[in-house]
Structure 1
Amino acid sequence: MSTPHANGGVTPLIELVDITKTYSNGDLAVQVLKGVSLKIHPGEFVAIMGASGSGKSTLMNILGCLDRPTTGQYLFDGRDVSTFDRDMLALLRREAFGFVFQSYNLIPMATAAENVEVPAVYAGMGRQARQERAGELLSALGLADRMDHRPSQLSGGQQQRVSIARALVNGGQVILADEPTGALDSRSGEEVMRLLSDLASRGHTVILITHDRDVAGNARRLVEIKDGQIVADGPTPHALEAAAPPPVPVHPVTVPEPGQDSGWTVWELAEAFRMARRALSANLYRTVLTLLGIVIGVASVVTMLAVGNGSERAMVERISAMGTNLLVIRPGAPGQRNANGVATLVPEDADAIHGIPNVIVAVPEYSGNMTARAGNMDYQTQVTATSPGMQQARAWEMAAGTFFDDAAEDSYAPVAVIGQTVANNLFAGADPVGQYILLRNVPFQVIGVLAPKGASPVGQDQDDVVFVPLTTGSYRVFGQRNLRSITVLVDDLSIIGETEALITSLLTARHQAEDFQVRNTASFIDTLSAMRQTMTILLGSIAAISLLVGGIGVMNIMLVNVTERTREIGIRMATGARARHVMQQFLLEALLVSALGGVIGVALGISVSLLLTFFGVDIQLTLPPMMLAFGCAFATGLIFGYTPARRAALLDPVVALAAD
């Protein structure tokens, strides 16, 4: 039951009409509140008193919009609160209520000033304004020298004064104090009650929840509750003794409208980032372990892709050293194996091919292994009789001297151009140019040394070779005109297939049969590149698995964070945090861990890749794989952080505040 109040003609600030609350546990239902009706007017100082289990704390949770009634109607300033969704309830708590809890409910990792600022953060107040407001309130409550202290460094009375300052930072029209002196010594308890009485005298609506009649006696109105029902409601002896008129209430609260204050602000995100950074640094060891999984995953991706790309590049470079836009024609019908002894190509075929469009040069070649002698040194090498166009076709630079020209070929000149390996073995560091070598007892003057090319894709030493003019080699060294191959250099690589078809048609017409084979070097490169790309994808997939494991680690740690910080979540919700505030808080923590792990992982991957170069591993570091690895790390944080963040955002404020 309730009794009429002196302000009965004024619209109540809070009005409960036949409120019930039932908790269900399986088949068992416990009704805690049984038809409670109550009116509280602006500026009242009301004590709700009852024994443990009487339902007073449940009533306070409903009054403070932390919980919803099972049935009945709750009107705040004339508005039906039952129509409010979670976000509107959070806005109402932020704008209208300030909570003072028995256990203080301060965030352990935040300083006193930062705890006071929490409701102002969710109200969108700027950082400087928040700090000034928190400083004013703490100074007024005698905590000017304790603003930078954490809750563990404060006494119980000091912590309760911090919670009172927090309740007032957004105005605190309605102060809900739940057993505010229950955990304090008598002196600290008296001091807290003086503060609450002073707030009431300044026009704040103060609702005091207590089981202690002496504490309740400080109020002006006493509401007694027993077994979920109001059994008494009237003025306290203190109110009867006081002759002063009721205080003038503080500025009224604007009850939120649907959709109000729904946007994200830069200040809000910056503050969430700052809180996320502090939360991660508070559990540094755990954060480092979480980072380790992301770092290893990202570093693996960067290193594996660098190795794969480097190997592909090295192979392409080796093939390119032979000439990428080449067609190699060999004797023997297509599919014929071991056509070395077949003689179907002649120099005139090369001359005919040279006239085909898109052909830059057609180089006839005949080669064989033989002993080269210089002085008293003998060396087994490959001798190739070819035309001057070989240097252009193979894009082979000279290290010393010159390559033979058309005049040397036309005059059957006994000149030779040697590779670097031959030069090293026959001349032991001396300058070979101008010296003579014997090939089958025929003296050839060395007129040039080719620049080193290294190994071919199949591992053959390309520098172990001697080149002589085709005419000279055919008649004075090998004794035959038939060719082992014709190498064709094409101009436009994009139409190399069409050029190959024209050559095939030409030679078929000349020979009256397809007694030759055409090999496309470009397609060989494409095949090898495809193989390397497959290997790169395989290596990247293996690395991605480690990144996935790191992501699972992030989710596990975030779930642990939510569990450990459930009370903090309840505190934030009680002070005005909406679901999206809580979600962005934990999501930012996951993203911050992943982004930091991504940056460190990329740096580590680059370092490992550079280290591998000292061991002769071909490495190619490019920006796209690094961005891919970092992007994957960031996406990992987003994906694996979402579930824990959503779980935190959907927590019930009452359940969260009751967590240990």
Structure 2
Amino acid sequence: MVTTEPAADAARVPLIELIGIRRVYGGKSGDKSGSDDSPATEALRGISLSIAAGEFVAIMGQSGSGKSTLMHILGCLDRPSSGTYRFAGRDIAGFSADALAWLRREAFGFVFQGYHLIRTLDAQHNVEVPAVYAGTPLPEREERARALLERLGLAGRFGHRPGQLSGGQQQRVSIARALMNGGHIVLADEPTGALDSRSGAEVMALLKELADAGHTVILITHDRAVAGQARRIIEIRDGQVIADSGASACAAAPQLEPQAFAARMSEGVAHTASLWTDVREALASAWRTLGVNRFRTLLTLLGIVIGVASVIVMLAVGTGTQAKVAQKMALFGASRLYVVPGSDEARGVGGVLTQADVPIVQAVPNVAAAMPFLRGQATLRAGNADAAASIWAVTPDAPHILNWRPVRGQFYDWQDERRLSTVMLLGKKVRERLFGGEDAVGKYVLVNNVPFQVIGELEEKGAVSGDADDDDVVMMPFSTGSRRVLGKTSLSWISVLLDELSQASQTVDAITAQLQAAHHVRDFQVYNAAAAIQAQEDTQRTMTLMLGLIAAISLLVGGIGVMNIMLMTVKERTREIGIRMATGARQRDIQRQFLAEAVMVSLVGGGAGVAAGLAIGAALIAWDVPVIFSVRSIVGAFACAVATGLIFGFMPARQAARLDPVMALGSE
């Protein structure tokens, strides 16, 4: 083995110094886990050399000689299996992954044979990539990228993607990218291998200009004619240096002074762009990437859109139905108890409730109001129309206790109650049978041949249960109905309105105790309608929750779709990941990039889902379906969509961040 090192001033620290570098693939020595039993392949066999700042060096060798492996180690894309690599006098073996990424970003610029441009980005954004990871402000990096492209003859190609550029133009974009952060060391791997002779000559001329300007240029080639244009030639064969023409004089002051660079390395690694800047750049890049693959993005969005819209619509319908049921129940007395005569035992005694029992019930704590209620049947006549109707004899407390008020006219008052006034209010169906579509207020109706004046029409309520229909009733003062129409004073029941629904059970016990003490026997029953209504509301609430959970399943399926698409994306964009790492991206930058894409899909899908859900809800409202939108459910569905992107995007993003740079660059 022949090993030569360039003569250099002993007091001066070499920019790059390799001592006994070996690189083994396969086998236990080449596999970090020590579990690979495949035969070991030694790509580099004790390479030792030094490169000074400002040199123009060509590393020449045939395919399989190890020159590409050497370039990867020089550019900190790969680590040696053994040996020492000192950069600016510091051993990189102790560098963290972030420190190596900073070194690639600040010191190196890569020019690859296959150009390695990111296909989803245009020329300008490809050039800007290293500056993005360096945290360079947007206006500054845009200005520098355009200036570099103009300098390299691409002034009119800023917005062209790689597929719209020739090979020579793509290589010049690659060179501009290498210079974006200064390009102190340009590592060019077969830069003319994929170009025609004219484009190759132009690229070599650019590399010579860079060397003349003080850049350190390391050229990897198998072509002796290309290598001959460098100022120093190092030839390797079978992983060993077999010839070295020796150190060359720098044509200009070096772009990078090793000792000064080493001094600012520690501080540079510790200071990066702000989190907001990183997130903003990741989201902007994600938006551009998703915009290129529109059809795939649309398919990915579809699952999120359906999930969010389903959650919003189902919860809105459930809440609307629940509210409608609650409203209906409220009309029938959501906070009421009923005291009815008769024992609840099979052989119990019969009972009678009178008006004297009403004050007893009224005095019980938590009772807001108690009202005597007498019901019977009567025949009504208005002109030539007859109608049989249910007569409700109730006090003026009825609108408050029954939660039932007139839609036309007015309710009778206590003066009417005391005077046994012959006034009444008609239910909607009674009014229709007697007067058709006419307003009945102010007209007279005969009840058992007694003339009554209609002073109001009750609001529509609908059927309570079975054949009973609250719209087929007539209300009149209790005194009038009991004495002049129905002819009895014993009550059908006592209606009780509660202050606190939560204390209904205790109130039932208290009423039972008071009436039993007054009657000396339990000849009555207390029905807790509030408890039944509460159970109905709880059931409806459970159904709404179930609807929401069913809808959430579709959102979960959408999240799984996001993960699958992102995993596929990582596989398809492996080379892009390698390019980003070569230009200085840290693992967390890669992870943030792919996580941002997943979140971007979720954000857009969530927004579209909210819009779709609101549109569907509006259509349902137009079809008289009870729908109530909840801001909480809308915000919750949108937040769940974003969380879905974070959760299901994390694994693909983490997988992308853990890729090996060299393996990623070499993928197809």
**Equivalent residue in structure 1 for 2:302, among 286, 292, 301:** 292
TM-superposed CA distance for 1:399, in Å, is: 3.1
**Equivalent residue in structure 1 for 2:511, among 484, 494, 503:** 503
How do 1:104-115 residues align onto structure 2 when only pairs under 5 Å count? 104-115=115-126
Residue 404 to residue 190, structure 1, CA distance change in 2 (3 Å): closer
Match of 2:94 in 1: 83
Match of 1:548 in 2: 556
How do 1:577-588 residues align onto structure 2 when only pairs under 5 Å count? 577-588=585-596
Match of 1:573 in 2: 581
TM-superposed CA distance for 1:497, in Å, is: 4.6
Aligned pairs, how many? 651
**In the alignment, structure 1 residue 381 sits paired with structure 2 residue 389:** yes
TM-superposed CA distance for 1:159, in Å, is: 1.1
**Equivalent residue in structure 1 for 2:133, among 96, 119, 122:** 122
Which residue identity lines up with residue 14 of structure 1 in the other structure?
I
Residue 566 to residue 247, structure 1, CA distance change in 2 (3 Å): same
Which residue identity lines up with residue 434 of structure 2 in the other structure?
L
TM-superposed CA distance for 1:34, in Å, is: 1.2
TM (norm. structure 1) is: 0.94
**CA distance in structure 2 between the partners assigned to 1:556 and 1:514 by the alignment:** 70
Residue 107 to residue 163, structure 1, CA distance change in 2 (3 Å): same
Which residue identity lines up with residue 8 of structure 2 in the other structure?
N
Q: Which moved more, 1:518-527 or 1:414-423?
A: 518-527
Match of 2:455 in 1: 448
Which residue identity lines up with residue 303 of structure 1 in the other structure?
V
Match of 1:134 in 2: 145
Match of 1:12 in 2: 14
How do 1:328-347 residues align onto structure 2 when only pairs under 5 Å count? 328-334=338-344, 342-347=350-355
TM-superposed CA distance for 1:556, in Å, is: 0.9
**Equivalent residue in structure 2 for 1:193, among 185, 199, 204:** 204
**Equivalent residue in structure 1 for 2:356, among 338, 348, 353:** 348
**In the alignment, structure 1 residue 422 sits paired with structure 2 residue 423:** no
1:280-305 Cα distance to aligned partner (Å, 9 max, x none): 00000111111111111100000000
How do 1:432-581 residues align onto structure 2 when only pairs under 5 Å count? 432-439=440-447, 441-455=448-462, 458=465, 461-493=469-501, 495-581=503-589
**CA distance in structure 2 between the partners assigned to 1:273 and 1:35 by the alignment:** 45
Residue 216 to residue 336, structure 1, CA distance change in 2 (3 Å): farther
Residue 334 to residue 68, structure 1, CA distance change in 2 (3 Å): farther
**CA distance in structure 2 between the partners assigned to 1:197 and 1:5 by the alignment:** 21
**Equivalent residue in structure 1 for 2:659, among 634, 651, 658:** 651
**CA distance in structure 1 between the partners assigned to 2:401 and 2:232 by the alignment:** 104
Q: Is the 8 A contact 2:422 2:453 kept in 1?
A: no
How do 1:620-631 residues align onto structure 2 when only pairs under 5 Å count? 620-631=628-639
Q: Is the 8 A contact 2:134 2:273 kept in 1?
A: no
Which residue identity lines up with residue 569 of structure 1 in the other structure?
I
**Equivalent residue in structure 2 for 1:180, among 187, 191, 205:** 191
Q: Is the 8 A contact 2:135 2:273 kept in 1?
A: no
Q: Is the 8 A contact 2:54 2:256 kept in 1?
A: no
SS at match of 2:425: strand
**CA distance in structure 1 between the partners assigned to 2:345 and 2:566 by the alignment:** 63
Q: Is the 8 A contact 1:318 1:456 kept in 2?
A: no
**CA distance in structure 1 between the partners assigned to 2:9 and 2:543 by the alignment:** 83
**CA distance in structure 1 between the partners assigned to 2:24 and 2:463 by the alignment:** 83
Which residue identity lines up with residue 435 of structure 2 in the other structure?
F
How do 1:36-47 residues align onto structure 2 when only pairs under 5 Å count? 36-47=47-58
Q: Which moved more, 1:616-625 or 1:21-30?
A: 21-30
**In the alignment, structure 1 residue 35 sits paired with structure 2 residue 46:** yes
**CA distance in structure 2 between the partners assigned to 1:596 and 1:148 by the alignment:** 25
Q: Is the 8 A contact 2:122 2:162 kept in 1?
A: yes
**CA distance in structure 2 between the partners assigned to 1:343 and 1:448 by the alignment:** 35
How do 1:67-78 residues align onto structure 2 when only pairs under 5 Å count? 67-78=78-89
Q: Is the 8 A contact 1:160 1:192 kept in 2?
A: yes
Q: Is the 8 A contact 1:398 1:448 kept in 2?
A: no
Residue 326 to residue 517, structure 1, CA distance change in 2 (3 Å): same
TM-superposed CA distance for 1:495, in Å, is: 4.7
**In the alignment, structure 1 residue 58 sits paired with structure 2 residue 69:** yes
TM-superposed CA distance for 1:547, in Å, is: 0.5
Which residue identity lines up with residue 454 of structure 1 in the other structure?
K
TM-superposed CA distance for 1:468, in Å, is: 2.7
TM-superposed CA distance for 1:245, in Å, is: 6.0
SS at match of 1:380: strand
**Equivalent residue in structure 2 for 1:359, among 335, 354, 367:** 367
Q: Is the 8 A contact 1:108 1:151 kept in 2?
A: yes
1:516-560 Cα distance to aligned partner (Å, 9 max, x none): 222334333321221111001110011001111111111111111
Which residue identity lines up with residue 226 of structure 1 in the other structure?
R
Q: Is the 8 A contact 1:345 1:483 kept in 2?
A: yes
**CA distance in structure 2 between the partners assigned to 1:313 and 1:170 by the alignment:** 63
Which residue identity lines up with residue 87 of structure 1 in the other structure?
D
TM-superposed CA distance for 1:386, in Å, is: 2.1
SS at match of 2:194: coil
TM-superposed CA distance for 1:336, in Å, is: 6.6
**CA distance in structure 2 between the partners assigned to 1:262 and 1:330 by the alignment:** 80
**In the alignment, structure 1 residue 21 sits paired with structure 2 residue 23:** yes
SS at match of 1:347: coil
Residue 263 to residue 523, structure 1, CA distance change in 2 (3 Å): farther
**In the alignment, structure 1 residue 368 sits paired with structure 2 residue 379:** no
Match of 2:256 in 1: 251
Residue 245 to residue 375, structure 1, CA distance change in 2 (3 Å): closer
Q: Is the 8 A contact 1:273 1:588 kept in 2?
A: yes
**Equivalent residue in structure 1 for 2:624, among 616, 631, 639:** 616
TM (norm. structure 2) is: 0.93
TM-superposed CA distance for 1:482, in Å, is: 2.4
**CA distance in structure 2 between the partners assigned to 1:199 and 1:347 by the alignment:** 109
**In the alignment, structure 1 residue 98 sits paired with structure 2 residue 109:** yes
TM-superposed CA distance for 1:357, in Å, is: 4.4
**CA distance in structure 2 between the partners assigned to 1:262 and 1:210 by the alignment:** 35
Residue 190 to residue 411, structure 1, CA distance change in 2 (3 Å): closer
1:171-220 Cα distance to aligned partner (Å, 9 max, x none): 11111000001001111111111111121122111111111111111111
Q: Between the two proteins, what is the percent identity of the paired residues?
A: 51
SS at match of 1:256: helix
TM-superposed CA distance for 1:333, in Å, is: 3.1
**Equivalent residue in structure 2 for 1:282, among 280, 292, 314:** 292
Residue 342 to residue 279, structure 1, CA distance change in 2 (3 Å): farther
Which residue identity lines up with residue 449 of structure 1 in the other structure?
G
